[in-house]
Structures are given as structure tokens and as C-alpha cells.
Amino acid sequence: MTPIPFGRFLLFERVAIGGMAEVYAAVRWDDEAGRLYAVKRILPSLTDDRELVRMFLDEARVAVQLDHPGIVPVHELGKLGGGYYIAMDYVAGRDLRSVAARFRAVGAPVPLEVVAHVVSEAADALDHAHRGRAADGRELRVVHRDVSPANVLVGLDGHVRVIDFGIAQAAHRSAGGGAGGGAGGVLRGKFGYMSPEMVRGLPVDRRSDVFALGVVLHELLSGQRLFTGATELAVMERVRAAQVPPPSASNRGVPPELDRAALRALAREPEDRFGWASELRDALRPWARPLGPEPRAALARLMAAWFPDALGEEADRRARGLASLARGAS
């Protein structure tokens, strides 16, 4: 694509597009080192949708108050050309969808120690969000509400990061609509990763995120989608019932302790789950020990082996960013 001047940034490649926004790899005019940024801007067709704009702005307002290596930092929130944008760190890596798809393609399960490490790291990031406080000391009580494989990134550097707080709910926010959804009680998020209480339109708290992360854990262990159906309604009914087989029913290599952790996270009633994401983290961390004393370095080596073209692709992307910056400045 032809690079697009965009305020202090130069957008040189669109790397993702979703239902609400598009994300570009970008460089900044005043950064001669050519550091890469991810600039997320709301789709032009949605700039008049007040609810989606509010959700988009809330993502930045929530993320900027959270300081954790597992949450991508936001550097700038602005409005340009009638549309809003967020500028954050660019993360070179793959989301969990891609990791799971890679193993499905070769007919093998994701190694247990990798599953345990990645999900425990995501749980640690979510726990930080759940316990976060504003600058004045108020509890933020953030609930991500859209935890899914697409929103957990495994970096080529071995870091695990949770992204996309676009439909997060925070206690200090005065939002309209039902407790379980967006404005007017409209459900937001991916149906197969919702909690039973969200599907039922009941209030949600941090334990809803625990359930969603439990779905991610179960799917990585079993190698299969957990809640499926011919229609969205059928998926929602299965989530509502939350009748979950142990992961070992599909993958005999899963030990009983990991079965128990997954099933506790996936309990239908919130009071029967782990009370905090940190409890799920602590249940999983012993199973990550085979990665060794430096699990992030070990995961970085594995990512390089699993995605052998990724490092070269990212080097090419950075070179294109630098070249775009040089041409734009000339």
C-alpha cells in the first residue's frame, strides 16, 4: 500500500481489520530509529456510532491506566480527520489462533508446558487488570469481557500479551444498557468465549474473564473448539448449560490436575470457579516448569521454530517502515 501520512505517524501497512477498527503498522515522523507502532483507528463507516466510539475510547482509557508487561501500552489517543485512533506498541508475533492452527495442521497437541505458561501469563495480565486502581486510588474493577485466542498474543520475543480491551467494563464507567452487554443490552464479544452469566444477561465480574480464559485453556489442551453449534443461538445455549467434558476426553496426555484446573475455571456458577485469575495462574505455573528457568527465552526459541518465516517477515516489515519514513521525509 502507499504509505498514509496520519498526524505524527506514517501508516505503511494494514495488519488487521475487525468489526470496529483497523490496525496499521506505523512509524513516527520524529523517531529516526524507526520504532514500529500499531495505530488502531475506528472504521470510517462507524464514526457516527456513538456506542462503538465510546467502546473504542474506553479501550484506551482502560489500557492507559494499566502498567503490566502482559498488557500492550497505549502511547497516544487522538482524533484526526473526524475519526479516533489509538497508538500503541507494535507486537511482533502470532495470536493463539495461529499457534493452535499450526498444531492442528500437523495433527499434534500444543505442548502442555507451553499451554500452561501462555495461559498462566495471560491470567497474570488479567489479574493485574482486575485489581487495577486509578490514579486517585479508586478500584477500576476492569472486566475484559472479550478474552479469546485472538486477543492473546505470543510475541516472537517470548512475551505473552493480552490485547483489545475494546469492550472492557470498568466499575467507574457509567455505561448504558444491560449489565451483560453493551448499549440496550446488546451482547458484545465472541459467543463461544462468553460466560454463562453474560449469555444470560446477568451482571459480570472478573470471574467471567476466568471462564473465558478457561475456554481458551480447554481448547489448547484438547485441540478442539469447546462450544460449537450451527447457529449463534445454539452456541449460546451450550455456553449457558456449561456442560464441559474434561480436556483429557480428547487428549489423553492431559493429566488429572490440568483437567481439574480447566473444569474449575469453567464452572457454570461464578462462585464455583477460581475467584481470581491469579488462582488459575498459580494452578498452571507448576506445569510450565519444563520450559526451564527462563520460560520466555524458551518460548521465543519455540516460536522461531514453529514460525520459521516470522522473524524474516518482521525484519522486512521494519525495513519497509524505515524506507517509508525516509521517502516521506525527503
Q: What is the pLDDT of residue 61?
A: 79
Q: What is the pLDDT of residue 293?
A: 96
Share in percent of the chain as helix, strand, coil (round to 5): 45, 15, 40
The mean per-residue pLDDT over the stretch 99-121 comes to: 96
CATH architecture assignment, domain 93-304: Orthogonal Bundle (1.10)
Q: How confident is the model at residue 45 (pLDDT cuts 50, 70, 90)?
A: confident
> pLDDT of 111-121, one tens digit each?
999 999 999 99
The 3 state secondary structure assigned to 82-93 is CEEEEEEECCCE
Q: What is the pLDDT of residue 169?
A: 67
Q: What is the pLDDT of residue 182?
A: 45
What are the b/e assignments for 93-115, b being 16+ CB within 10 Å?
bbbbebbbeebeeeeebbebbbb
Q: Distance (Å, rounded) from C-alpha 187 to C-alpha 10?
A: 35
Secondary structure letter of residue 55 according to DSSP = H
* Residue with cell string 470496529: 20
Q: What is the pLDDT of residue 190?
A: 85
Looking at domain 4-90, its CATH class is: alpha beta
Poorest-pLDDT segment among 61-70, 153-162, 194-203, 221-230: 61-70
**pLDDT at position 94 over 60:** yes
Q: What is the pLDDT of residue 74?
A: 86
Which are the catalytic amino acids?
Answer: 146
Domain definitions of the chain by residue range: 4-90, 93-304
> pLDDT of 136-190, one tens digit each?
888 888 999 999 999 999 999 999 999 987 667 666 554 443 334 444 445 556 8
> pLDDT of 249-294, one tens digit each?
999 999 999 999 999 999 999 999 999 999 999 999 999 999 999 9
- Specify the pairing of strand 74-80 against strand 83-89: antiparallel
For the entire predicted model, the pTM comes to 0.90
